[in-house]
Chain A
């Protein structure tokens, strides 16, 4: 692993010094160089996670598929979403927005004589255990994600956007990142808002992040896989999440909203533990472009639908 981390640092350093920093220098953007370095690391790590997720999920999908692959074009569209999301184009926009928002928020707080808190200060034992602290952050943020997901289904205008994610009838592990761009921005603001309140540690846990990423992609995989009586209650499984994507579960009638930890559905009464059900996926009632259109058509359909919903005509 040391060899890997050394090689990784060497690779990112080489790309940064050879390509990125000279470009930033030429553009007069050197005060953004450190942010660019972080971003490069994020983007390259995104590529690596795609590769690992593929290597794990693809054989599973070949081994025990829930349904045959009938529409490869629909899967290719999901791939576009994944690469856009993982290579940092969309998160970059959210990052720039959130970074300036965070600066203003913290500046304002300190002007008022306050300092933004961190979880470690509230629970001092977490200081000596960065790994445990990180897991606590994951739990808190996952709780936030559960309620964002509830809102995506419960609010008509938000469902107008989120329906793109659900319209996929050929669900595979690539479907995880299939979201409308506005939905991504809202997600970043929601996540960032919670992060502002509790402080979020820097991404020094690539291995854990990789595991989380793998779990989320796996939950969308086209694989007949349940984690068993206990496992189903610990981590969201392909079975658990496919039920959420079922045709009868679309919109406000949804079940199994959890992103990573099913415990939230358990607590708030939205869990469906039927371990034998692998329903057809899709969102009946949404226009066909949202299901089978390309990235541009789906985005356009989303904009149109959210405008109609907000105007009360959707």
Chain B
């Protein structure tokens, strides 16, 4: 038995010694959400949605997962501990969305409609709808919640929007098809998908300071939960680059075939990565860069890890398990910076680039939840 499955099997026998996770994966081309049990490494449930789900965040009180169905004009709310859909809300084209750090605003980009919507976070009252240049993609806030920064995929620019004035403050050219953006040590880091670098923007001067090479198709940047590493996905070169958050020097590069996109972190510090083009997710060990894959639906995009103490019962049509106490008190700020409930292995442990070996997981078949062969097939 390999060490990892052995450890997981032990965790099942000795509940309480280890934590388990539910992993939520948004299948953007399958109109569904895959719920994966990280103990069995199998999909245990598939939740249908209306059209096209891309991104998800926790509600400000951290009790619910908020999933944006951009094609269906709907927000779905899930209990992350039980995978139960608690409510739905009509909502204009929610593509990427975040709450401001002060909790006042919910800002949403509508990629296909060239709109950025500013809502009051609690009531979802629309405060402003800004018509912006081509394809507003991802967004990030300044720590004081004064500005929201939006990448404009079709316009080569990063735009700053003043939340007090609710209008654009400035924009700067960063390169071809900018995608993900985060705030990091007083700078904005932008993944430039049409090129091979992360653009570093000084927001005080509205200026592109420098670029950091990561690999073709630079896409999104995720800060590690311990604050010691930034993980950058590159979709064309299909790799994850680990950057030092202070110097932005590359510390490691892992080849992860399949088009890595969004990343979430589990309490053990592993990376859970959606692989856009091969209908799988990868679980990456940050110490070695080794990855295992698990099949999910088509074009998986957003991903979220919910720590649990017990395995999820694979019973989609039967009654759901009773809600269990969640670890909401120790929940993360958001899915990308999920706080580790256990010490995370320091990234310094792997300063040398290590090529990853992506291996299909042995128990990778979806569970027999659909009941019959043809329903499983149709479920796709």
Contact = CB atoms under 8 A, between A and B. Distances in A.
Contact of B51 (A30, A41, A201, A205): A201
A274 interface: no
A9 B112 contact: no
A116 B73 contact: yes
Contacts of B52: 202
B109 interface: no
Contact of A131 (B28, B71, B297, B378): B378
Contacts of B299: 34, 37-38
A129 to B, nearest CB: 8
Q: How large is the interface on B (under 10, 10 to 19, 20 to 34, 35 or more residues)?
A: 35 or more
Interface in A112-129: 115-116, 118, 120-121, 127-128
Interface in A88-126: 103, 106-107, 110-111, 115-116, 118, 120-121
Contacts of A1: 373, 376-377
A6 B298 CA distance: 10
Interface string A45-68: 000000000000000000000000
A268 interface: no
Contact of B236 (A6, A22, A116): A22
A37 B276 contact: yes
Nearest to B375: A131
A201 B31 contact: yes
Contacts of A131: 378
Contacts of A13: 258-259, 275, 277-279
A9 B90 contact: no
Given A106-B113, A107-B113, A118-B51, A38 B31 contact: no
B194 A31 contact: yes
B62 interface: no
A21 B365 contact: no
Contacts, number: 131
A12 interface: yes
B115 interface: yes
Interface centre among B72, B154, B297 (most CB of A within 10 A): B72
Interface of chain B, helix or strand or loop or mixed? loop
Given A1-B376, A17-B238, A115 B92 contact: yes
Interface residues of A, number: 44
A22 to B, nearest CB: 6
A285 interface: no
A2 B366 contact: yes
Contacts of B366: 2
B87 to A, nearest CB: 13
Interface centre among B217, B277, B374 (most CB of A within 10 A): B277
B217 A21 contact: yes
A66 B10 CA distance: 67
A122 to B, nearest CB: 12
A34 B277 CA distance: 9
Contact of A33 (B135, B235, B257, B378): B235
A113 to B, nearest CB: 9
Contact of B48 (A14, A25, A130, A199): A130
A21 B278 CA distance: 13
A106 B378 contact: no
Given A5-B377, A116-B73, A204-B380, 4 more contacts: A17-B277, A130-B31, A199-B72, A202-B52
Q: What 9 A-B pairs come out closest when comparing CB atoms? A: A13-B278, A9-B279, A13-B277, A1-B377, A107-B113, A115-B73, A30-B194, A30-B177, A130-B48
